[in-house]
Structure 1
Amino acid sequence: MKGPDKDEKYPISHYNRLCFLKNIITSPNIIVGDYTYYDDFKDVYNFERNVKYHFDFIGDKLIIGKFCMIASGVTFIMNGANHKMDGITAYPFNIFGNGWEKVTPKMEELPFKGDTIVGNDVWIGSNATIMPGVHIGDGAIIATNTTVTKDVAPYTVVGGNPGKEIRKRFSEEKIEELLELKWWDWKIERITENLHELTGPKSRFL
């Protein structure tokens, strides 16, 4: 066994609704690690369409680690969606011109929450929404239809709107050990040799 080719666009033969995501991304501001896959009910190219308000002039990045599992309909809202909110109204008059551009805010006056970062080995369920600047830790699970508005700790299961912690996947002590293990950084040969240890409930790593 040698495992699939990380540079293959569609790693499952005769099935083009699941892709290794990094191989279809066109935006330089979306960075995806090896073996992370996206599964879409209709078209895998919906992924970038579902990264909303991601404008080059703002410069924020969407960074996704290795071996993540992203289901159909997952949406990332980026910083371009933010409105200036320190006035009486948040209405963006300036974008319509015709004299209203005189109240165009400077970039530093707009809310900016930084890059959106998804760790390694993260499972994001269908139709989840990730808000700007959120950091999702390694090994986390985001339930279907969840709206993630704040950071998610490693190996935490989150669900609801807004997303709330449901439970930890493992004890705090074990989570620390797994974060040190960083299996996703192993050479693929070592991962392949240890598949039973990585996927079984009686793993020596647990």
Structure 2
Amino acid sequence: MYRYRRLLAVIVFLGLLLAVFQFSGLRSNFNLAFLHQKFLDNEASGLLIFIVLFALGNLIQIPGWIFLAAAVLALGEVWGGVATYIAAVISCVFTFWVIRLVGGDVLRQIRGRWAARLLARLDAHPVKSIVLLRLLLQTVPALNYALALSGVRFRSYLVGTLLGLPLPIALYCAFFDYLARALHVPGY
């Protein structure tokens, strides 16, 4: 039971964080209209608010596509993509450090062949593994939690994140740009 205390601490921490955001009403700010309006109000402060909300949203399971769509609609395909890439990297790094601080490398303490095999593959090729995971899952919070708790070195995490996010973000930007044009979104 002792070896799972840190994992329990992570679960309790995330539950409390989600409850604070839910009951304080802050979670209502995690929507497309709010984020879009912040960009329109002032691009510089809007970008800062966008980054902070993306980082906090990633911790409490807000899907990244909401942030990306808001950035594309407010800033266009290219600058929206750049803003999202910067915010996504900062968000992933923030999540990594918060979860690592609370949970350490608790996944290393799980016994079993399946866990040992997964961690051995991650250890053998950490950057390549993280790039592939980012291509498939982008900034999915559960992925960030698992990688933080896996004991992977931060440098490998950062390099894998930096290399793995551009392609999926570019594809999503093109998709949201196409969608906005096809649906004749006002102001786009």
TM-score, reference length from structure 2: 0.24
Q: Which has the higher helix share?
A: 2
Greater RCO (CA < 8 Å, at least 6 residues apart): 2
Report the structure, 1 or 2, having the larger strand content: 1
Larger radius of gyration: 1
TM-score, normalization by structure 1:
0.22
